[in-house]
Chain A
Amino acid sequence: MNTNNIKICILLASVFLLGCDKVLDLEPTDRLSANAIFGDPKGVEIYMANLYSQLPIEDFTYMKQGFNYNQSGPNNGGQCASMVTDEATHSESGSGVGDGDFQWWADGYKLIRDVNILVDVIPTLKISDQERRSLIGESSFIKAFAYFGLAKRYGGVPLIKNSQVYSGDAESLKVPRNTEQETWDYVLSLCDTAILNLGDATGRRATKWAAYALKSRAALHAASLAKFGNLAPQSGIAVTQKLVGLDAFLANNYYKAAISASEAIMKSGKFQLFKPTPANPQEAAENYRLLFQDPNANGASVEAIFIKGHAIVGNFQGHNYDIWFQPAQTANGWPHPGRMNPTLDLADSYESYTNPGKSAPIVTTMDNNTNDYNGYKPSQNYIRYNTPNEIFKDKDARLWATSILPGTIWKDKTIIIQAGYVKPDGVAVIRTSANINISGTTYYTYGAPNTSLYSGFDGFGGNNTKTGFGFKKFMNQLSPIVPGWNQSTTDFIEFRYAEILLNFAEAVVESGTGDAIAAAKAINDIRRRAAHKVDIPLTVENVQRERKVELAFENKRFWDLIRRREFHTLFNSSSMHSLMPLLDLRALPDTKYIFVRVNAPNINPRTFITRSYYRAIPGIGSNGLVQNPEY
């Protein structure tokens, strides 16, 4: 429910719930009493809907500008968190993490105030004990979620545990920052309160399981900061006061918390992987795609622990993934599709079925050199393929379900992604619009005669992929897109069972504690769902690869790079890479394709600077807080 509806409801309620019996028994007329709202189940529903709508869930409406970026014309070019990681690049510009990006400060404390108001009145409400416990549990979950959203961005933050009362002195409302450790410990203790009080049903509102899942994720985050913080040391007042940073010795306790929270979910029997034993990779790819297209359909909800729904279209309601990220050929009149370009770097990471347990970089030449990004060379001995996607034949099903590969079918159309051709004389024409007539047949560099018939490499409007990969995960294949703002209603799974398995495996392998056999089984179960038949051992590298490909584009990679302090080494004047399919006319009359690995064209290299491991706290001049390092 959006805030306007809530305001209207409250306004109406305030009109209808008036009236007093005695003249001297006056209730204030400009506000509702807590019992008026919370004593009525409908009132609770309205208030809770408002709180849930403010939860910092990084779904399809989470963009560089922040959360719930789906009002009127959210025209930011579709710049989202995946595009600052190695998962994707934007079709128009290289994109780093700016100081003002992905902020959540004032909105965070607004949610905390709103939930604290509820927390304060819970003991006074005339409701059953059962209802009271579930309100305590739900409000603790929401508060934990809010402080987690703050802690991972800012480190230690002021912990405001009850609502503040303004008594004319603004100074008294200013609360200094707590240490980062205190902040994480508070998040975990709120999770514990939620777990203790929430019922074990499943559903859309917070459950015991959602609280365990949050604890699993938050504890793993804190553990990683403690373990890997020394990879990117910082200095300054915030560091000496321990407002940012966690001591290394804290890591194992946090890992243990992540292990036990994950195990609680794994042993509950309430959840499982969706379609865990597909017969073949094609089936696995389709299952995986269906899970994200609609987590409520086909029985997919067995994997979903906590879902954010998008029930209706419009401002504050729908989202824009389908319009921004649709291939140009299926844009259906929308002028700005094709923005999300999955990288070759991500495609390389997926395993192949013949050589399990390793990333399988895409080999394009007879000499197997996958480090040459210098472009087409006539003298190079390229491997010739019969179709534009035969090169991916042996790759993990999830590559096929996450990206639209050249020459595959999407919405009943063959998606054409071609960067150029090699003329019979060996000269290549790449990324220019051209055609050539050979023996009565016309061949086009981009694979088709005009911009509505292909989806790759033409710079036209920024509508075509620059990497050779289109975006598929989360995209709704069922209906043509509606070419307008906020028209998509895909639901987003915030916590799913596969993430819990991955959290568990990572906590076990990083800490060297816990059940290593169960942890190996966890990653192999996920691989089995992707049609892998050969088990691989539990290693740090295997867990991280599995996490990267399984959770790709779920806005988890950004935080994985943050918490493991890998961002600044991965992005140090670094280019992302593309795979250019070329039609090789030297092979006529046969139709053959070759592929060239290149730096993503016209995209600046990216550098992640270490201060970005923490966001800058806004409004230091008035709130008097100690700023994070180097801001």
Chain B
Amino acid sequence: MPLKILIMNKLLLGLFIISFVLPSCEKDNYDGPTAGLSGTFIDALTKQPIEQDIINGTTIELLEKGYNPVTPQYLIVKNNGSYENSQLFANTYTVRPVRGNFIDIPAQEVVIKGQTILDFVVTPYIRVKEANISKVGTKVIATFKLEQNVLTPIRKISLYAHSDSRLGEGMRLVVSEKIINVASVPNTIYTIEMDLPSNSSTLKPGLGYYFRVGALINVPEAKPNYAPAVKLVI
């Protein structure tokens, strides 16, 4: 038998024996995470959940106590405004939603123990109201009103389309946008159209797609506000 293989076999045998002789010890067996945090972003006025982006949307920054420096953890939020991380270590955290689509709120100290629920009651930058999205001829037409809660101009309004229901600014096949850069006018009906034939390779006739209206405020790092997505067969 060649020398190389002999050595290999001895090595393997050695490893096999070691795996019995050196069993795991108690000290480095930490418990897994047992706590969690979940909740919803709620509109302070309407008490309704605030629609979000799952990709590149509002995030919740968690700073765990007892570490310096501490690397922040970020939780993402589902499109319907709810969030959940069920695998956190029980501890006290500094919790703060950041880069959101609502007026900034201060950080809070939260004791996360067991499955903790924490809702954020906030004021969205913009409420996209009375949204109606329908197919008219070869176009999809969205109409809606805007109600803004800060004085800043609105940067743009958008109509997104995607085959997945979790569509938005960060996830779309097609978007029709209007750059506005002025404050919205109450009770004005805003309209955006999406031409279907000129997007025929991405939005295929006869199939169902989701459509969603969004409006973005001109605040640094702000995320768009939305009306709920609707599904249309085109």
B171 proximal to A (CB < 8 A): yes
CA distance A609 to B74 in the complex (A): 15
Query: CB-CB contacts of B73-116 with A at 8 A, as 1s and 0s?
Result: 01000000000000000000000001100000000000000000
B69 proximal to A (CB < 8 A): yes
Asked whether A607 lies within 8 Å of B56 as measured between CB atoms, the reply is yes
CA distance A335 to B99 in the complex (A): 47
Asked whether A620 lies within 8 Å of B198 as measured between CB atoms, the reply is no
Q: Which residues of B contact A (CB under 8 A)?
A: 56, 69, 71, 74, 98-99, 169-172, 175, 198-202, 220-221
The residue that A374 contacts in the complex, of B56, B71, B201, with Cβ under 8 A, is B201
Contacts of A607 in B (CB 8 A): 56, 170
Asked whether A621 lies within 8 Å of B98 as measured between CB atoms, the reply is no
Asked whether A598 lies within 8 Å of B201 as measured between CB atoms, the reply is yes
Contacts of A598 in B (CB 8 A): 201
SS class, residues of chain B in contact with chain A: loop
CA distance A300 to B199 in the complex (A): 47
CA distance A371 to B175 in the complex (A): 14
A452 to chain B, nearest CB (A): 31
The residue that A621 contacts in the complex, of B56, B71, B169, with Cβ under 8 A, is B71
Asked whether B220 lies within 8 Å of A372 as measured between CB atoms, the reply is no
Contacts of B98 in A (CB 8 A): 235
With both beta carbons as reference points, the residue of chain A lying nearest to B171 in the complex is identified as A573
With both beta carbons as reference points, the residue of chain B lying nearest to A624 in the complex is identified as B69
With both beta carbons as reference points, the residue of chain A lying nearest to B200 in the complex is identified as A374
Kindly count the residue-residue contacts between A and B in the assembled complex, taking CB atoms under 8 Å apart. 40
A256 to chain B, nearest CB (A): 28
Asked whether B220 lies within 8 Å of A235 as measured between CB atoms, the reply is yes
A315 proximal to B (CB < 8 A): no
Contacts of B99 in A (CB 8 A): 235, 630
Contacts of A610 in B (CB 8 A): 221
Asked whether A373 lies within 8 Å of B201 as measured between CB atoms, the reply is yes
B206 to chain A, nearest CB (A): 15
A233 proximal to B (CB < 8 A): yes
A375 to chain B, nearest CB (A): 5
15 A-B pairs with C-beta separation under 8 A: A235-B98, A235-B220, A235-B221, A371-B198, A572-B169, A573-B170, A598-B201, A599-B201, A599-B202, A607-B170, A620-B71, A621-B69, A621-B71, A630-B74, A630-B99
A627 proximal to B (CB < 8 A): yes
Asked whether B198 lies within 8 Å of A372 as measured between CB atoms, the reply is yes
A176 to chain B, nearest CB (A): 11
A234 proximal to B (CB < 8 A): yes
Q: With A573-B171, A607-B56, A607-B170 known to touch, is A627 a contact of B71 (CB < 8 Å)?
A: yes
Given contacts A233-B221, A235-B98, A598-B201, 4 further A-B contacts (CB under 8 A): A372-B198, A374-B201, A599-B202, A621-B71
Contacts of B74 in A (CB 8 A): 630
CA distance A573 to B162 in the complex (A): 12
B146 to chain A, nearest CB (A): 22
Would you list the 8 A-B pairs with minimal beta carbon distance, nearest first?
A233-B220, A374-B201, A374-B200, A375-B201, A573-B172, A609-B56, A624-B69, A233-B221
B216 to chain A, nearest CB (A): 12
A111 to chain B, nearest CB (A): 26
Query: CB-CB contacts of A8-44 with B at 8 A, as 1s and 0s?
Result: 0000000000000000000000000000000000000
Asked whether B172 lies within 8 Å of A374 as measured between CB atoms, the reply is no
Contacts of A630 in B (CB 8 A): 74, 99
With both beta carbons as reference points, the residue of chain B lying nearest to A374 in the complex is identified as B201
CA distance A607 to B172 in the complex (A): 11
Most A CB contacts (10 A, CB to CB) among B56, B169, B199 go to: B56
Contacts of B220 in A (CB 8 A): 233-235
CA distance A25 to B133 in the complex (A): 90
Contacts of A372 in B (CB 8 A): 198
Query: CB-CB contacts of A602-620 with B at 8 A, as 1s and 0s?
Result: 0000010110000000001
Contacts of B171 in A (CB 8 A): 573
CA distance A125 to B216 in the complex (A): 63
CA distance A374 to B199 in the complex (A): 6
